[in-house]
Structure 1
Amino acid sequence: MPADLAQSLVALVSNLFRLLWAWLAWLLRLLRRRRDDEGYEKIDCFEIPPDVNRRPDPCLYSQTFLAAQGIAVTWDNPDIRITTPTGDPAPSPVLEANTDYLVVGTIHNASFDAAIGVSVRCFVRPWGFDFSQRTPVEVDAAGDPAERVVHIGPWGQALATFTWRTPNVAEGHYCLTVECAHPADREPNNNVGQENTDVRRSAAAAAQRFTVPFFNRRERVREFIIRADEYQIPEGRVELELEHIPGSRGIDDDRKRALMTASGLPPPDRTGNEPREEEIRRAIERDAIRGARIRLSSEERRQRRGRGYRVFGYRGRSALMADNRLDGFPLANGWTLTFPGLTEHPAGWRVAIPPGTTRDIEVVVEVPADAAAGDAKAINLTAMDPLGGVVGGVTIYLEVEA
């Protein structure tokens, strides 16, 4: 057989095999597609978005975090308790000098995932605003801050207890801080809570004066706004149920508009100029963080060549936040409060403090003449920087005497 003919036959057989293989591959793809059409589940791989990824969220009542959400706060922290060694309550403003107490911190887990190995520490700071100095209430054998490690189930809570011996000084007003930490924490901004209270007594139709130290820890002059209100945590139990938002499969025009407006982005207009997909995605992620909403890929939506979301939320959460808004609790019933020497501002009272110095802020509370003996007023003083960040605060309980 001539060499040219042999090479031609080899090439022909090779091409036949290639055609056969291509036909078999096409047949396999056809069978797989038919199998999918007959009801077999198709699984698409995608990266789990950060607002859905399961991670723990150890937390406690955090004034800085709540105020950043526009929620009023008290500095009488419900998650920090002081007791005697036998467990009897010991209100923080009435502590004896050079005496042993227990500081009990309640750590919550606001997540569907267990928080295993949460580190908790406790510190004491000088009473007042923004003091950077802090001392551990308890130390270990090496002299380092004592650490408690707790394990918290989904949406559970655990107690971390520390032994504290108060300083041997006559005036025992302190600010207690409890901090928790976890390496996979979903929201580390709600990990620090403060307990900073005082109790004063006054007759009716009298002016009660007291001072609160304010420290500027920075190396420059800083201005602050001090807000005053009478907010207290509502009594009773509040329950919110996670549920699917009807009509949220796919982002229709009305849903887009509401979502973008709530998230601070320009809403879509009526002329067809829709926001970019990336802007919608960022808005949904921000809304999920603020509103506990979850976004999930929708197979049906993808089949229509669009990207869809199924949105879940805690219905009633917005109303609950509105009922506890930061500016919703001015002093009422004839009680007035002033800061002599400070400049009044629409949002509160303005104060400027030189770098690295402490200024005593004088506070005057006018008790109305018709205040009855036994009446009490909780007055929260919260200091903020010009950007609205909380730098500290104190809650004063003013009781009316006979």
Structure 2
Amino acid sequence: MIYAQYYLMGQGLAVTWDNPDIEIKRGGVTVPPHMLEPDTEYEVVARIWNNSTEAPVVDLPVKFSYLSFGIGTTSTWIDETKTDLGVKGGANHPAFASVKWRTPAEPGHYCIQVLLDWLDDVNPNNNLGQDNTTVGVAHSPAKFEFRLRNGERERAEFRLEADTYALPEMPVCGERPRPRPSRRPLRTFPGTIAAVPAGHTRRAHPIPAGWLVTFDPAQAALGPGEEISVAVNVEPPAGFTGRKAVNVHAFSARGLAGGVTLYVER
């Protein structure tokens, strides 16, 4: 498993598109995806977890690709590698897999996707992770633009929504009472949560008072393969300084179509 936004949001959890399990490095130093240089070699590193305490994985195929900055955009192949993944809590856990990637010669922002392609997985739904972020400086306001594409075979209506969820600090490990085992409904994948913690719902992280987030357009009907540009303006309150994440998600009748995380700085 990897931090898998589509799977997590499908269970009602808020997500960030700043993936904690995907890093881009150059010379051993992490480089933010919005600061990549054209026609330059980087290393893409994926951190991989095992939710099983009994079954290690030998030669796990890990596939890397990239998208142009946006939602539903076309995937371009990077490379594939294999890694050995130990059991949960054991040696070689988490495992890491990396490939070399030369960025396209055309300047631009690109996002990375990592797919864990293991056939004997009791829950294959948490095997795709995406890293899709950019940063804008708020003069008045911060302006962003990304591509929205309909990758389906039929016409679809898309609507855009925003929240400010960010991954919280991990709690300190300590003695805790063992939770009582609960009966899972039949045909539920291991790792499926019974209830969403209150702090991890999207409604717990609305756009704060005093902030203004607008989309142009805020909704769109696109034919199969059709692609448009979406402009986003994020205007913080006058006294704001620092850095704040704004997650933009696109939804269609099928559910979550994708998203981006925008960082606003001032």
Same fold (TM over 0.5): yes
Alpha-carbon spacing, 1:322–1:213, altered in 2? closer, same or farther (3 Å)? same
Q: Are positions 1:96 and 2:33 aligned together? A: no
Q: Are positions 1:180 and 2:116 aligned together? A: yes
1:149, 1:357 → 2: CA distance? 37
Q: Which amino acid aligns with 1:167?
A: P
1:104, 1:89 → 2: CA distance? 10
Matches within 5 A, 1:1-400: 59-84=1-26, 86-117=27-58, 118-131=60-73, 133-138=74-79, 146-155=80-89, 156-171=93-108, 173-203=109-139, 206-237=140-171, 242-245=178-181, 283=185, 286=188, 290-291=192-193, 318=195, 321-342=197-218, 350-372=219-241, 375-387=242-254, 389-400=255-266
1:153, 1:362 → 2: CA distance? 44
SS in 2 for 1:164: strand
2:104, 2:94 → 1: CA distance? 31
Q: Which amino acid aligns with 1:150?
A: D
Q: Which amino acid aligns with 2:226?
A: T
1:188, 1:356 → 2: CA distance? 26
1:369, 1:325 → 2: CA distance? 28
1:158, 1:120 → 2: CA distance? 11
- Deviation, 1:338, is 1.2
- Deviation, 1:376, is 1.2
State whether residues 129 and 391 of structure 1, in contact with CA within 8 Å, keep that contact through their aligned partners in structure 2: yes
Q: Which amino acid aligns with 1:109?
A: N
State whether residues 117 and 127 of structure 2, in contact with CA within 8 Å, keep that contact through their aligned partners in structure 1: yes
State whether residues 119 and 150 of structure 1, in contact with CA within 8 Å, keep that contact through their aligned partners in structure 2: no
2:29, 2:62 → 1: CA distance? 22
Structure 1 gaps of 5+ residues are 1-58, 139-145, 249-258, 260-281, 292-316, 343-349
2:135, 2:103 → 1: CA distance? 18
Alpha-carbon spacing, 1:70–1:212, altered in 2? closer, same or farther (3 Å)? same
Q: Which amino acid aligns with 1:175?
A: C
Alpha-carbon spacing, 1:244–1:93, altered in 2? closer, same or farther (3 Å)? same
1:120, 1:81 → 2: CA distance? 14
1:285, 1:104 → 2: CA distance? 33
2:167, 2:178 → 1: CA distance? 23
SS in 2 for 1:396: strand
- The Cα offsets for residues 238-269 of structure 1, whole Å up to 9 and x where unpaired, read as 76765435xx8xxxxxxxxxx8xxxxxxxxxx
Normalised to the residue count of structure 2, the TM-score between the two structures is: 0.89
1:284, 1:341 → 2: CA distance? 42
Q: Larger radius of gyration, structure 1 or 2?
A: 1
Q: Which amino acid aligns with 1:290?
A: T
- Deviation, 1:180, is 0.5
How many equivalent pairs are there? 260
SS in 1 for 2:23: strand
Alpha-carbon spacing, 1:153–1:390, altered in 2? closer, same or farther (3 Å)? same
- The Cα offsets for residues 261-298 of structure 1, whole Å up to 9 and x where unpaired, read as xxxxxxxxxxxxxxxxxxxxx8355497634xxxxxxx
- Deviation, 1:150, is 2.2
1:83, 1:115 → 2: CA distance? 27
State whether residues 225 and 386 of structure 1, in contact with CA within 8 Å, keep that contact through their aligned partners in structure 2: no
Which structure is higher in strand share?
2
- Deviation, 1:333, is 4.4
SS in 2 for 1:244: coil
2:191, 2:144 → 1: CA distance? 40
Structure 2 gaps of 5+ residues are none
Question: Equivalent residue for 1:31?
Answer: none
Alpha-carbon spacing, 1:207–1:154, altered in 2? closer, same or farther (3 Å)? closer
Alpha-carbon spacing, 1:183–1:287, altered in 2? closer, same or farther (3 Å)? closer
Q: Which amino acid aligns with 1:163?
A: K
Q: CA RMSD in A?
A: 2.3
